A and B are shown apart, each in its own frame.
Chain A
């Protein structure tokens, strides 16, 4: 499989969005609604209603 879920690092898309052109500093952050590992559904809107949000992106590898 290639595309977003590439099988090999060498297939990593060069057409990825430019990091600095999206979700810019001083601009609204894109909202999301995602499941956590305990079966809760978490939205950015809910998180930020409770305080500033530190968001990290990552994987095992």
Chain B
């Protein structure tokens, strides 16, 4: 995200993170009971994830904005100057986001130069998120043993089990 932001901010790209509920609450980062607590956790996110350049917005305690956009934990949206959603994904794929930002800025340039656009098209695709056990273990351990145990109870495997994808097939 930071890389994409740095690359396109001179072209006007605005970037922000909406801080939501904790996806995997644990003893170190528990669920939120109050907005004040949620705000404090959002500050912690800024310290932990080195995203100082990108503003973090804090959703309300009921998650109204998170819900309006679909309530998934790692969603990404690209919205044009008219407020139209031009891209959405259930996962942050930096290369794909980069490509989309470039395409949207190119369209804005075409509009500015009054280049006629024949029609607006749409595409869909699948993507595959590779399993990175070490990264996942880091994230879950950061939350705490409770988060690991909750995941194991819900899914029947450790969140960082190397064969998680095979187990799901």
Query: How many residues of A are in contact with the other chain, CB < 8 A?
Result: 49
Interface centre among A4, A6, A36 (most CB of B within 10 A): A4
Chain B neighbourhood of A28, CB < 8 A: 83-85
B69 x A30 contact (CB < 8 A): yes
Q: Say whether chain B's binding surface is mostly helix, strand, loop, or mixed.
A: mixed
B165 CB, nearest partner CB in chain A, Å:
19
Q: Which residue of A lies closest to B59 (CB)?
A: A34
B22-54 at interface with A (beta carbon < 8 Å): 22-26, 29-33, 39, 41-46, 48-49, 54
A14-59 at interface with B (beta carbon < 8 Å): 16-20, 22-32, 34-38, 42, 44-45, 47-59
A57 x B73 contact (CB < 8 A): yes
A32 CB, nearest partner CB in chain B, Å:
4
Q: Mark B92-104, 1 if CB is under 8 A from A, else 0.
A: 1000010001001
A56 x B108 contact (CB < 8 A): no
Q: Could you pull out 13 A-B pairs where Cβ atoms are within 8 angstroms?
A: A23-B68, A27-B85, A34-B59, A36-B58, A44-B83, A50-B12, A54-B14, A55-B69, A56-B18, A57-B66, A58-B74, A59-B20, A59-B29
Which residues from chain A sit less than 8 Å from chain B, CB to CB? 1, 4-10, 12-13, 16-20, 22-32, 34-38, 42, 44-45, 47-61
Apart from A26-B85, A32-B57, A57-B18, what 11 extra A-B contacts exist at CB < 8 Å?
A: A8-B150, A17-B67, A22-B68, A35-B57, A37-B43, A47-B16, A52-B78, A56-B1, A56-B74, A59-B22, A61-B139
